[in-house]
């Protein structure tokens, strides 16, 4: 079945700097790659997603890139702010693949003022 590896497990950056989180997946049939942000005591919240027919997607300070050949995708957060501090999860799924979301282990991002 699908396996998603996420790195790093923890990331600390200065406010205003950029943060990058990387994920690799194993199932070449996966077509959908969402990123979730989870704040303490809350459920995961979708922040951006990308489908396999697109190589990059951007939404204000957040961008995701996808390399289907290499089977990896990355989350980029620019101009980080203290409210970006949270745990971030990548996931993969697809009709031809697992048909369910398989999550990475998560990255705890800390923004230092």
Q: Using the 8-state DSSP alphabet, how is residue 107 labeled?
A: E
CB of 86 to other proteins, least distance (A): 14
Nearest to 5 by CA among 21, 29, 28: 21
Main-chain dihedrals φ then ψ at residue 49, nearest 5 degrees: -145, 165
- Is residue 35 within the footprint of other proteins (CB under 8 A)? no
Nearest to 94 by CA among 47, 27, 35: 27
Task: Name the 3-class secondary structure at 84.
Answer: helix
State how far the Cα of 68 lies from the Cα of 59, in Å rounded to an integer.
21
- Is residue 36 within the footprint of other proteins (CB under 8 A)? yes
Closest CB to other proteins among 12 and 105?
Answer: 105
- Is residue 47 within the footprint of other proteins (CB under 8 A)? no
- Is residue 100 within the footprint of other proteins (CB under 8 A)? yes
Task: Name the 3-class secondary structure at 105.
Answer: coil
- Is residue 66 within the footprint of other proteins (CB under 8 A)? no
CB of 96 to other proteins, least distance (A): 9
CB of 77 to other proteins, least distance (A): 20
Give the residues lining the site for other proteins (CB under 8 A): 31-32, 34, 36, 42-46, 49, 51, 89, 93-95, 97-106
């Amino acid at each position: 079945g699908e396996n998603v590896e996420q790195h790093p497990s923890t990331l600390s950056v200065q406010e205003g700097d950029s943060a990058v989180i990387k994920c690799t997946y194993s199932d070449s049939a996966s077509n959908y790659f969402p990123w979730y942000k989870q704040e303490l005591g809350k459920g995961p919240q979708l922040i951006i997603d990308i489908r396999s027919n697109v190589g990059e997607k951007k939404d204000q300070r957040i961008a995701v890139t996808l390399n289907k050949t290499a089977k990896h995708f990355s989350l980029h957060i620019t101009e980080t702010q203290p409210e970006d501090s949270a745990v971030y999860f990548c996931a993969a799924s697809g009709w031809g693949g697992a048909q369910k979301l398989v999550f990475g282990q998560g990255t705890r991002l800390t923004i230092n003022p």
